[in-house]
């Protein structure tokens, strides 16, 4: 007879078989993350043998070109990929949970669009063209956009419902996109600087940007990982969650703050990379089940696997050049999005 463990936090029962599957998925994901991290350090326009990578990490030799590539190029973009992928994956899981929308991603709250507006204003008004210079404008723009979306969505008797938040986010994103297009058409400098940032890339991003944003990323991750029980309750519906003592307005504010901190920081560092926040929660849900206390930490693990794998693939497919990670993620994410839409439609949700 299969043992079943029930929990009081509105989570479904966990069978022994399901627990084993979770354990296997966790081990497999850890191994996959280690593999893509090693590949990110070794592969590229200049392939470096694993032994040489290990030697470079353990005992760097000044003047050795392979060691210089590992330390000056590969390590920074790998660290950025790990951080940005984890942040986007976790933010997407939170967004899908709070909105109860399987197509939600950080862009739903206008985070990407707001960050893009911040970058455009930094370039156009202040003449800032380096990633380190406009990360704060990207983060600030993301926060302002999310605040506007929540403020608009909260108007009315029912407050900030998932549908109203989605509609407000769509409207803000449309307006921001129009503004960005106008700025690019009227200023060539803005066009060139924004085009390099907006494609979404891990190349050329130094670890100093992550150092500046580390506190925001950490705070966002802690907040997101603490709302698993809340998201389980909200999955039952607003009325049931309210009846079980959940403060809906507070829950939505906390989750919105977590999403802004995570997705805003990731966007500021790597550009508006799409589909990571959409695809990762579905992979986590398929492996972990519907319990958000398992989905959230697993999304934090899968996100960097997807982003680093796309970055490594982009270095190899058009050598000696490379494709940006944002392009490769979109190539993978587009058919996944179509599959999700078809499944939702067929299931009647």
- CA separation for the pair 164, 169 (Å, rounded): 8
Q: For 269-319, what is each residue's pLDDT tens digit?
A: 888 888 888 889 988 988 888 889 999 999 999 999 999 999 999 888 887
Instruction: Determine which of 31-40, 102-111, 164-173, 213-222 has the lowest per-residue pLDDT on average.
Output: 102-111
Residue 207 belongs to domain with CATH number: 1.10.3470.10
pLDDT one-digit tens code per residue, 219-250: 999 999 999 989 998 888 878 878 877 787 78
Q: What is the pLDDT of residue 246?
A: 79
From residue 164, alpha-carbon distances to 3, 173, 278, 347 in Å are: 42, 14, 19, 23
Q: Report d(CA 254, CA 89) in Å as an integer.
A: 17
Mean pLDDT of 111-133: 81
Predicted confidence band at 209 (pLDDT cuts at 50, 70, 90)? confident
Q: How far apart are CA 92 and CA 255, in angstroms?
A: 11
- Whether the CB-CB separation of 109 and 186 falls below 8 Å is answered with no
Percent of the chain with pLDDT over 70: 89
- Confidence label for 341 from pLDDT (cuts 50, 70 and 90): low
Partners of 4 in the β-ladder: 15
The rounded distance, in Å, linking the Cα atoms of 81 and 245 is 39
In contact, 84 and 307? CB cutoff 8 Å: yes
CA distances from 297 to 83, 87, 155, 294 (A): 14, 11, 33, 6
Which helix (H) or strand (E) element contains residue 4? strand 4-5
Question: How many domains is the chain built from?
Answer: 1
Would you place residue 344 in the very low, low, confident or very high pLDDT band (cuts 50, 70, 90)?
Answer: low
Burial (CB < 10 A; 0-12, 13-18, 19+), residue 93, is: buried
Residue 45 burial (CB count, 10 A): 12
**Would you say residue 268 has pLDDT above 90?**
no
Give the range among 118-127, 137-146, 326-335 with minimum mean pLDDT.
326-335
Q: What is the pLDDT of residue 48?
A: 85
Among 14-23, 154-163, 233-242, 305-314, the range of highest mean pLDDT: 305-314
The per-residue pLDDT for 4 is 37
What is the CB neighbour count within 10 angstroms for residue 207? 16
Average pLDDT, stretch 51-78? 87
Residue, of 333 and 288, whose pLDDT is higher: 288
Q: Average pLDDT in the 147-167 region?
A: 76
DSSP string, 154-181: T-STT-S-HHHHHHHHHHHHHHHHHHHH
Provide the residue range defining the domain that includes 179.
4-347
Measured CA distances, 266 to 83, 107, 165, 292, 348 (Å): 7, 12, 22, 22, 34
pLDDT value of position 245: 77
Nearest to residue 195, comparing CAs of 210, 180, 179? 180
């Amino acid at each position: 007879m299969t043992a079943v463990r029930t929990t009081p936090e509105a989570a479904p029962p966990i069978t022994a078989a399901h627990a084993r599957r979770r354990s296997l998925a966790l081990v497999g994901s850890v191994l996959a993350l280690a593999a893509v991290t090693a590949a990110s350090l070794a592969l590229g326009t200049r392939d470096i043998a694993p032994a040489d990578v290990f030697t470079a990490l353990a005992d760097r030799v000044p003047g050795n070109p392979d060691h210089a590539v590992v330390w000056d190029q590969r390590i920074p973009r790998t660290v950025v990929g790990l951080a940005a992928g984890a942040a986007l994956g976790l933010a997407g899981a939170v967004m899908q949970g709070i909105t109860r929308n399987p197509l939600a991603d950080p862009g739903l709250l206008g985070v990407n669009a707001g960050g893009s507006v911040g970058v455009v204003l930094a370039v156009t008004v202040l003449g800032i063209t380096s990633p380190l210079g406009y990360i704060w404008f990207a983060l600030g723009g993301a926060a302002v956009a999310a605040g506007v979306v929540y403020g608009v969505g909260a108007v009315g008797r029912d407050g900030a419902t998932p549908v109203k938040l989605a509609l407000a986010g769509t409207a803000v994103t449309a307006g921001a996109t129009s503004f960005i297009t106008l700025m690019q058409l009227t200023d060539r400098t803005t066009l060139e600087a924004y085009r390099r940032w907006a494609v979404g890339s891990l190349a050329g991003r130094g670890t100093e940007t992550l150092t500046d944003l580390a506190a925001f990323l950490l705070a966002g991750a802690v907040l997101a990982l603490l709302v698993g029980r809340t998201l389980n309750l909200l999955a039952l519906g607003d009325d049931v969650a309210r009846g079980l003592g959940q403060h809906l307005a507070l829950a939505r504010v906390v989750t919105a703050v977590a999403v802004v901190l995570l997705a805003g920081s990731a966007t500021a560092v790597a550009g508006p990379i799409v589909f990571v926040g959409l695809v990762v929660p579905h992979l986590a849900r398929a492996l972990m089940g519907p319990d958000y206390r398992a989905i959230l930490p697993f999304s934090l693990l899968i996100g960097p696997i997807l982003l680093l794998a796309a970055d490594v693939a982009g270095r190899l497919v058009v050598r000696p050049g490379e494709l940006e990670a944002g392009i490769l993620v979109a190539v993978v994410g587009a058919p996944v999005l179509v599959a999700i839409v078809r499944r939702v439609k067929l299931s009647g949700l």
